[in-house]
């Protein structure tokens, strides 16, 4: 996996690009090539694997939402956690996110699940694992992506000040243990999945809390509404 062949936003490439040269990342690249050679379908499409970094440059990042791995249904994943491509039905977890935004901020629920407008405002929508096999949730866990995305979180924690990290569910919260809570705002809640959202995700108030934190640091607030 050579950095000169990977589409990576320049501010991220200068900070985390070298990680892609590590042996475990080369092994991951070989694994992905082998899977494709066997005819397995991998989501998201290759050019969109690093879409979260491309959409939200390092210095523009103000909020980080950590997901687990991409959606594994046809046409859903496009590289931003919890987001689905235009024209795709809103998945249940994202619907619960919209319900909480409606409850928290009074904003109407969007009719689509394309979260690119959030990313363009500085919300890094980062999955811990950046690829998945079609129809097999979690199929690429433990293949090397976690170390790379840990490195992204560590770099943000170390080089930036006063970020908001939204950690939903035990998986994201475990990944967030490296974050310095004295320097950053860390918001924790159950996962928005229908299996757990009722245990405290609905009612968490994270979206208004994030904007209060940003306002207190004279940063632009996030418009959590989505255009039709």
pLDDT in tens, 153-193: 999 999 999 999 999 999 899 999 999 999 999 999 999 99
7: tokens are 């589409």
Question: Catalytic annotation on 18?
Answer: no
Residue tagged active-site, from 18, 54, 59, 69: 69
25: tokens are 């990342």
Residue 6 is predicted with a pLDDT of: 64
* pLDDT digit string, tens, across residues 65-113: 999 999 999 999 999 999 999 999 999 999 999 999 999 999 999 999 9
Sign of CA dihedral 53, 59, 65, 67: positive
> pLDDT category, 2, cuts 50, 70, 90?
very low
Average pLDDT over every residue of 17-27: 95
Residue written as token pair 């959590």: 224
Question: How many alpha carbons fall within 13 Å on the CB side of residue 128?
Answer: 23
Contact call for residues 126 and 149 (beta carbons, < 8 A)? yes
Work out the angle at residue 138's Cα, subtended by the Cα atoms of residues 167 and 118, and round it to the nearest 5 degrees. 40
Percentage of the chain lying above the pLDDT 90 cut: 95
Number of H-type helices and E-type strands within the chain: 8, 6
Residue 5 is predicted with a pLDDT of: 59
Is pLDDT of 46 > 70? yes
CA distance 173 to 153: 12
What are the angstrom distances between the C-alpha of 126 and each of 172, 175, 181, 185?
Answer: 10, 12, 19, 17
> pLDDT category, 118, cuts 50, 70, 90?
very high
Residue 145 is predicted with a pLDDT of: 97
Is pLDDT of 4 > 80? no
């Amino acid at each position: 996996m050579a950095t000169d062949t990977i589409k990576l936003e320049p501010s991220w490439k200068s900070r985390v690009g070298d990680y892609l040269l590590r042996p475990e990342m080369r092994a991951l690249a070989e694994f992905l090539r082998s899977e494709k050679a066997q005819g397995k379908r991998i989501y998201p499409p290759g050019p969109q694997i690093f879409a979260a970094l491309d959409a939200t440059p390092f210095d523009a990042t103000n909020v980080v939402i950590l997901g687990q791995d991409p959606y594994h249904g046809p046409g859903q994943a496009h590289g931003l956690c919890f987001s689905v491509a235009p024209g795709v039905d809103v998945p249940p977890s994202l619907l619960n996110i919209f319900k909480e935004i409606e409850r928290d901020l009074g904003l109407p629920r969007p009719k689509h699940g394309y979260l690119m407008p959030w990313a363009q405002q500085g919300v890094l929508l980062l999955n811990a694992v950046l690829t998945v096999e079609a129809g097999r949730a979690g199929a690429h866990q433990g293949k090397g992506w976690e170390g790379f995305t840990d490195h992204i979180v560590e770099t943000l924690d170390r080089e930036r000040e006063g970020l908001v990290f939204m950690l939903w569910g035990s998986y994201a919260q475990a990944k967030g243990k490296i974050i310095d809570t004295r320097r950053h705002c860390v918001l924790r809640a159950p996962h928005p999945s229908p299996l757990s959202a009722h245990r405290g995700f609905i009612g968490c108030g994270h979206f208004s809390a994030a904007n209060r934190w940003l306002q207190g640091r004279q940063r632009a607030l996030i418009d959590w509404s989505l255009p039709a």
